[in-house]
Amino acid sequence: MSNEKIPYKIYLEESEMPRAWYNLRADMKNKPAPLLNPETLKPMTEKELSKVFCEELVRQELDEDTAYFEIPEEIRNFYKMYRPAPLVRAYCLEEKLGTPAKIYYKFEGNNTSGSHKLNSAIAQAYYAKKQGLKGVTTETGAGQWGTALSMACSYFDLDCKVFMVKCSYEQKPFRREVMRTYGASVTPSPSTETEVGKKILAAHPGTTGSLGCAISEAVEKAVNTEGYRYVLGSVLNQVLLHQSVIGLEAKAALDKYGVKPDIIIGCAGGGSNLGGLISPFMGEKIRGEADYKFIAVEPASCPSFTRGKYAYDYCDTGMVCPLSKMYTLGSDFIPAPNHSGGLRYHGMNPILSQLYEDGLMEAVSVKQTEVFEAAEQFARVEGILPAPESSHAIKIAIDEAMKCKETGEEKTILFGLTGTGYFDMMAYEKFHDGKMTDYVPSDEELEASLKKLPKV
Ligand SMILES: *Cc1c(COP(=O)(O)O)cnc(C)c1O
């Protein structure tokens, strides 16, 4: 440990940036369960998956043994435009809280998409291009993933077709225009462009859509369009692999100053930023080299870890995707429309689900008004206007720091600040006007969607 004062921002040199992604599965004793074919209930083969996904990404999805995947030079060069992302010591927040805790955050909002999603988007676009594809389809909820993918596709000159959850399409017109600036075509979902979209519209007229519906539409479009594949911005193991760049950089920066975190916190939607942030630290924990406390933070209105079941489920509402064993609320679950904070997906990445099942990680849920209180508190002292999703992690980081204030413990806390919230000002407005309410689904509501889990 050096006595040098730790700077507000710890940057890595370009030469210190990771050259390989880390695949946590290689070190896991209990591997995540395989994806199943929904018809045969047998594990999905490489060939089956390759009809939907790019070949190299399928290989990454299925590989449980290779610990490191070299990051191709083209992707590393793109990363250099907005990475390394700063690791910030939150001195101002610590002072404001009057806590002896030391708080660090890894800031991923330093690019136009405003989130960590670009880390995987650029990788997925690269492999699609390398395979000679014409384009890709995807879904987007709040819009960060669609934006990131649009940027990545325009860089590699690929077509990009985005199905955007209808309520976001209407509430976030500026997000849509950013995507169109990068050349993507954006369709509100559910739409009449796909069979599954028509079916969902017939069953739920007037629905404002969900991520699960939009995924079904994007998959159908990809499978039925020559030279297209489907790409997904979270949940899949390949996405976690790409996002390991977050944790690898954070760890390298902390190692530079001999700092070891006690608690590592991330918000959890589909699990990609959390999985990416914790991967190298969790690897150490599993190998018995170090110990850390990991906390996943999810919204009380969409509580897959804390109130869901660990079971095989569909990844999408239309049931066209493979079955995945994960913590889930049921593929039918749609969070209450008053939920503004993102992280709306019904399931959770299989790797994180297995880690949670094995007791290697904790999870908590938080209500959206307390999330926005934390967001505002953070914005006022640290200068960054955080995304509502990221603010779930901020809320628990502050809680943990306040516990230290009570006990006098000088714990080191690391959390992922996944992005900025400039496109979420309608949610901030609701909060400021006192119109934001908290919705927590009842047990009956959750049972209704969990009852429909497939029998596997
Ligand atoms: C998408 C997103 C998340 C949640 O997705 P994960 O896959 O769980 O990481 C969190 N924060 C921001 C800013 C996002 O855009």
DSSP 319-368: S-SPEEEEEES-TT----TT--SS---SS--HHHHHHHHTTSSEEEEE-H
The reply to whether 325 and 305 lie within a common domain is yes
CATH number at residue 62: 3.40.50.1100
The reply to whether 435 and 353 lie within a common domain is yes
- HSE at residue 267, side-chain half, CA atoms within 13 A, is 34
Closest-CA residue to 148 (of 387, 397, 395, 416): 387
Closest-CA residue to 322 (of 190, 196, 219): 219
Residue 159: predicted pLDDT? 98
pTM for the model stands at 0.97
Residue 442: predicted pLDDT? 96
The reply to whether 323 and 426 lie within a common domain is yes
Residue 192 lies in a domain: yes
Name the CA dihedral angle for 115, 124, 176, 365, rounded to a multiple of 10 degrees: -40
Q: Is 402 in contact with 423 (CB distance < 8 Å)?
A: no
Q: Is 83 in contact with 17 (CB distance < 8 Å)?
A: yes
Residue 4: predicted pLDDT? 66
Atom 7 in ligand 1: which residue has the minimum CA distance? 272
Among 185, 207, 230, residue at a domain's last position: 230
- Where helices occur in 101-165 by DSSP H, the ranges are 118-130, 144-156
CA angle 107, 111, 116 (to 5 degrees): 55
The reply to whether 350 and 386 lie within a common domain is yes
The reply to whether 34 and 126 lie within a common domain is yes
Q: Is 120 in the pocket of ligand 1 (CB under 6 A)?
A: no
Structure tokens at 223: 């499978």
Q: What is the residue type of 376? A: E
Q: Is 273 in the pocket of ligand 1 (CB under 6 A)?
A: yes
Q: Which atom of ligand 1 is nearest to the CA of 343?
A: 4
Q: Is 343 in the pocket of ligand 1 (CB under 6 A)?
A: yes
Rounded average pLDDT per 10-residue block, the chain, 456 residues: 77 96 98 95 95 96 98 98 97 98 98 97 98 97 94 98 93 93 97 95 90 91 96 96 98 97 98 98 98 98 97 87 95 83 90 98 98 98 97 98 98 98 94 96 96 93
The reply to whether 433 and 369 lie within a common domain is yes
Atom 14 in ligand 1: which residue has the minimum CA distance? 115
Residue 317: predicted pLDDT? 78
Q: Which atom of ligand 1 is nearest to the CA of 233?
A: 7
Atom 2 in ligand 1: which residue has the minimum CA distance? 389
Name the CA dihedral angle for 217, 223, 229, 234, rounded to a multiple of 10 degrees: 40
The reply to whether 50 and 167 lie within a common domain is yes
The reply to whether 306 and 328 lie within a common domain is yes
Atom 4 in ligand 1: which residue has the minimum CA distance? 269
Q: Which of 118, 234, 339 to mutate to test the pocket of ligand 1 (most atoms within 8 A of CB)?
A: 234
The reply to whether 314 and 344 lie within a common domain is yes
Provide the sign of the torsion angle of the four alpha carbons 62, 64, 65, 69, taken in this order.
Answer: positive
Q: Is 268 in the pocket of ligand 1 (CB under 6 A)?
A: yes
Residue 2: predicted pLDDT? 46
Q: Is 419 in the pocket of ligand 1 (CB under 6 A)?
A: yes
Closest-CA residue to 355 (of 231, 237, 239, 211): 237
The reply to whether 136 and 220 lie within a common domain is yes
- Where helices occur in 45-143 by DSSP H, the ranges are 46-49, 55-62, 73-82, 91-97, 118-130
The reply to whether 196 and 261 lie within a common domain is no
- For 161, the domain range is 20-70+117-230
The reply to whether 109 and 121 lie within a common domain is no
Structure tokens at 225: 């369009």
Quote the ligand 1 centre to 418 CA distance (angstroms): 7
Region class of 206: left (phi > 0), else alpha (psi between -120 and 50), else beta: left
CA dist list (Å): 272 to 116, 242, 313, 455:
9, 9, 18, 27
Q: Which atom of ligand 1 is nearest to the CA of 420?
A: 13
Strands 309-314 and 323-328 come out as antiparallel
Q: Which atom of ligand 1 is nearest to the CA of 108?
A: 13
Number of domains in the chain: 2
